[in-house]
Amino acid sequence: MHYCDEPFLLMPVVSLILIITGCDPEVCNYYKISNKTTAVIDVLVYENGGHLRVGHSATGLKKDESYDLAEVFCGRGTGGGPFQSKNKTDSIVIIINDTIKVSILDSEMNRWSMEDLSNNAFGNNSPMLPEAWTEVKSKKDNYYYEYEFTEWHYQKALEANGYAVE
């Protein structure tokens, strides 16, 4: 055998390894909702048909408390926010101090553009948008994202409900 033929023998082996393992590894995303406000918040996530997604809903979150979403999203090349599934998430309702309510509908999200987010009290910082989730750490093929409710959200919720905010 000629020494120039050796690299050609390796090509089928390398190709077979790439086909078996794939170029795009399975990635898992973990999500956490945190309350950085002075208020108590509830985050209720509804499926199509009006059913509450219990593992995605957090109730009674006090200042500096957080909630890990129950479902872990794994797949090849996945990323972004947890509420992107058109088949599952219909709406998110945020209730602050048991009185202030903000609803974010998936049907409104379909019509939004980044230039005009006026249908949503939180604008481009809506938990429905994958860009609003912050990657807080990553380990190998695991990514951890967090969405923080802050005093800014509280002020926007007050405005959306007709309260004068200074």
CB 95 within 8 A of CB 42: yes
Residue 151 one-letter amino acid: E
Whole-angstrom distance, CA of residue 22 vs CA of residue 73: 19
Per residue in 39-98, pLDDT (tens digit) is 999 999 888 777 888 888 889 999 999 999 876 777 766 566 677 655 567 788 999 999
Whole-angstrom distance, CA of residue 37 vs CA of residue 94: 13
Buried b (16+ CB within 10 A) or exposed e, 64-84: eeebebeeebeeeeeeebbbb
Quote the mean pLDDT of the chain: 77
Per residue in 98-129, pLDDT (tens digit) is 999 998 876 555 544 444 455 678 887 888 77
Give the global pTM. 0.73
Give the β-pairing of 142-149 and 26-35: parallel
Whole-angstrom distance, CA of residue 18 vs CA of residue 103: 46
